[in-house]
A and B are shown apart, each in its own frame.
Chain A
Amino acid sequence: MMYLSLLIASGLLGGLGVMALGSRINCRHIASGTVLISLWVFYGLTQQMVFSDGGIQLMESLPWIPYFNVRYMLGIDGLSWALVGLTLLINCIVIAGSYLVNYTRMRLYLALFLLMQSMVIGVFLAYDAILFYMFWEGMLIPMYLCIGVWGSSQRSYAAMKFFLYTFLGSVLMLVGFIYLGIQAQSFSFLQMASVPLSLFEQQWLFLALLAAFAVKIPMFPFHTWLPDAHTEAPASGSVILAALMLKVGAYGLIRVSMPILPDASAYFAPLMIGLSLIAIVYVGIVAFSQQDMKRLIAYSSVAHMGFVTLGLFLIYRAGDADMASLGMTGAVVQMISHAFGSGALFCAFGLLYHQCHERSIIKFSGLGTKMPWFSMFFLLFVLSTIGVPLTAGFVGEYLVIMTALQTMPLVGLCAAITLVLSAAYLLTMYKQAFFGMPSDIVEKVRDIHRGEVTLLLFISLVVLALGIYPQGLIQVLYPPITQLLDAAVSSKLLV
């Protein structure tokens, strides 16, 4: 059974199905059917996997462009499995959310999200650079359309900025891939990992790949497209953007940059750690004065992704393998929990925005009295983003800070400031919007109804489950992480 291809194909076919049959059958049913089928395939795939083995499994490899030795090569390990699971879960939420709101051109909307699901899963499964690049770019177009078609007033500016910025980065990545492909005589990541490269070559290649990854994550100072894109995107677009799109950048660092270019990664580690710290502290400060709810969440997103890059590059300063895997696991857990922090905030705020079409924090007041249930869920997501224990947001942050304090205590000290910064900006926002007497806009809103409660309850349960028992996730992540870590720290220069 070609589970991986099936998984990618299910989204594509579902998208086509929505476009073709959506006029006759309720297109939402087709979309949710598709996601259910994908989940079923994912379930079958999970049965086949051996989680204690950290290597690539269920490999599918077919020649694609034999002349250049480009192959259609897919594989999965625990890390990819977790991220694919995350993608499906988030898409479930988005598709379920589509029952709650009405957009124009619903068919196109759903088809794009199914397409996006395929592309994101493709990125997480691809083991061939060209295939990876194809999925990477394929992800861009639906997102571009999503912002451009269903966005708010400044949408064309934001969509264009998003597209050009990320596209510029990925073109440099393609150049890097071609060079690597020529050197390795193959575009397979596995072959690339074993090809010897001088430090000089590695450095340039690292920067070329970083151009794509740093923009996607986004790292400081390449982050300014994100607040614009988030503010203009529709709620579902923001959820996908925060929960999935940002993750592929970090995934690229783990899967491509670090194993293939270990020496350059070590060489640039201080720079990356520095940029991550700036993201954590400086962006945390910037977030405090944001007047637009979605901008604020977007900035908090950047600050939290700073922990991912921090955890990843701390491994080059770690004293031993266990300490390094602590950092890397922390980074990966942070990737996943961030999806349920910022992603959940965007999702919840989307439900509110749908009622009142207002983003300015200052216009809200007294939501707590008008929408008690909504404010309860929103508070939980805020707490998860702040990193309160027993919620998902705490785990990754804690592990990364612990690694930082052990490897570079001063870095850890700076990273720990986030405890205060994130509490300050998010709670100030929460206070303004949810406390006090209801303002004019808020007077008109109603509390969330049963369908919306179910949606938010589902997300909340995931948030709590990840926070209370993260070991369930970590035992899946640990074997592949030890393998990737080996590759990421074994120098190519001595070979």
Chain B
Amino acid sequence: MLVNEMALICLLSPLLGAVAARFYCHWAYARWLTIVTITVSWLFACALFRDVAFIGKAVDLYQFSWVDIGRYHFEVGFLLDSLSLMMMVIVTSVSLLVHVYSLGYMQEDANQSTYFSYVSFFTFAMLILVMANNLLFVFFGWEGVGLASYLLIGFWQTKAYPARASIKAFVVNRVGDMGLIIAMGLILLQLGDLEYANILGRGSQLLGVVWHGWRWIDFICLGLFVGAMGKSAQMPLQIWLPDSMAGPTPISALIHAATMVTAGVYLVCRFAPWFELSPITLSIVLWVGFSTMILMGIVALVANDIKKVIAYSTLSQLGMMVGICGLSGYVFSLYHLATHAAFKALLFLSAGAVIIASNHEQDLRKISGMANHRTIHLSMFIGLLSMIAVPPLSGFFSKDAMLMFSAKQSLWPYVVMVGGAVLTALYSTRLYYLLFWQNRAINKTVPVGYSICWPLWILSAASIYLGYAMVPYLEVLLRSVDVGNQITVLVIKDIQDVAGFIDHALTSLPLTLTLFSVTVLTYVYWKKPSVLDRLIKRLAWGYDFIASQYGLNALFERYMVTGYQRLSIYCSEIVDSGLIDQRLVMGVSAQVKKASGPLARIANGKLYHYILVMLVALVLILLGLV
């Protein structure tokens, strides 16, 4: 079987492109090279998907031993199953589209070879993350995507804001990585191994281990989830994601919407059997996910930057996926992950087209004339409808599956989920009206080229069709994340009867509420836009509070960063140079100098003094001996 070679080509081809494009950055065709390599990677990912995903069991491919000490074996290897293969296809497809899109988007940039190199490197790291067969190798990809994100957010390095945003993203992500590292150490202590195949089935072995009344597995799952919170930008570690919009827009589509930010969801799903054993962590996952969904959805209602609105909506959707993981509906989280990758990438890439067409204007209140831009209008419209979950678009299938699942679990998660769905409808509608209705003055827009339009068309098709197309795949996917949840099986059965599923949804509460809120908001925007203005003025304080992410951003930037700077200056000046260096080290040396005064008088270089001392000493020694 050639699976191993295929996996290697799929993984290493983007790396080759990245390295070549970086070193031959002055070569005019460097960017085309990265497109060739990413296409190769995509083809092999698809081929692997076709060959391996449906065989019903995971394929473990050992590559080499990274570190081998005694009983500790840290290895590098791949695990291909229906979960990782789905992720590989998503990653390479979106990456390919973003590469093509960037041809047009970045065409005037002087450093575009470097840009393409970074994007290819990101793809490589993300592939490691999803292909790895053990937690350490996952960590390689985990940090790698963080690095790529850092490089790309700060790509326009002469500007101040991207520089700040990039460092924020990296450092906040590292807080999450700390959780992952700690989880790894705890796993290693109990099980002595990090390979999925060897540890995932042994979760019950951890149940008996207790430390001061705390169960070991809770610590491990919590560590893993902190890692997931960093990457998937769950509250309160979400602060890096809105600022990451400082990077080029195609990057926001690839990294901060479709792939990297879903890594946390992927990790939680990978460790689903363990999370099942830790109810306390599961409820934390649920709470964190749902609060991110609701609170960030509300922020999306007040943001005015087109990219930020979509970023907050990403946060809200991610919160939804994470929250459903907390209810043990892993398959549906992954389902939504896939459809979300399509429609969110579409939204971001459309936003990028808007930005180009409106001459780099990102403020929704100032952009005008977009309604006449047919491709942009249509793609944005489809993306938003898919996100609102209008049947039978992609987003509908996944979101309604999640809704149905939560309804069957218990009442209050269902209520919160419906709230999330309504919020989605509200901010999507608002985005649409601000973008296409508010300023209908026909300004001169900049035309966008084919390399931008083609990815939009393809992603529009995916946003319409992917949800339906994936219905049969859910059963296959379930094999990778099966935790024996009966409700999951029931819901999948329901979805497979597609006509009945849509029929049921049309009469259900969430869709009714969603469409109702869309209608109300449409009416307000159409007939009485002044109502909203008055509302904003009346609630100005609350408006600002929400826009600042409930003060979390200020807390981080003003208090934590400044406080840390103060602490550092205190340690450096008072403790390190003041106390240790001046007081202790130089103080001792000053004392020695002082004490050496009398000694210097004795050691004055006069020979007869020395001889006298020697004689006295000799006499004393002799007396002592006697």
Contacts and interface: CB of A to CB of B under 8 A. Distances in A.
A491 interface: no
B188 A475 contact: no
A106 B581 CA distance: 34
Nearest to B584: A221
A402 B158 contact: no
Interface string B43-78: 000000000000000000000111111111000000
A366 interface: yes
A288 B147 CA distance: 20
Candidate in A325, A412, A417, A435 with the most chain B CB atoms within 10 angstroms? A435
Interface string A396-418: 00110110111001001100110
A434 B157 contact: yes
Contacts of A366: 157-158
Interface string B141-173: 001100100100010011010111011001100
Given A224-B576, A288-B565, A406-B185, A469 B72 contact: no
Contacts of A409: 185-186, 189, 211
Contacts of A406: 185, 188-189
Given A404-B185, A431-B167, A395 B572 contact: no
A469 B64 CA distance: 9
5 contacts: A368-B157, A398-B181, A401-B181, A409-B186, A423-B170
Contacts of B184: 402, 405
A435 B65 contact: no
A110 interface: no
Contacts of B590: none
Nearest to A321: B70
Interface string B556-576: 000000001101110110011
Interface in A405-442: 405-406, 409, 412-413, 416-417, 419-420, 423-424, 427-428, 431, 434-437
Given A412-B185, A437-B158, A474-B69, A419 B584 contact: no
Contact of B182 (A413, A423, A436): A413
Contacts of B461: none
B524 interface: no
Given A224-B585, A435-B158, A427 B66 contact: no
Given A383-B147, A412-B182, A326 B68 contact: no
A402 B69 contact: no
Contact of A224 (B66, B189, B571, B577): B577
Contacts of B580: 221, 224
A474 B70 contact: no
A405 B67 contact: no
Given A322-B69, A383-B147, A478-B69, A405 B189 contact: yes
A395 B585 contact: no
A322 B114 CA distance: 44
6 closest Cβ contacts across the A-B interface? A405-B185, A322-B70, A435-B163, A289-B568, A288-B568, A224-B581
A471 interface: yes
B162 to A, nearest CB: 8
Most chain A beta-carbon neighbours within 10 Å: one of B166, B189, B577: B189
Interface string B423-446: 000000000000000000000000
A57 interface: no
A474 B68 contact: yes
Contacts of A290: 572
Contacts of A326: 69-70, 72
A287 B581 CA distance: 15
A413 B65 CA distance: 27
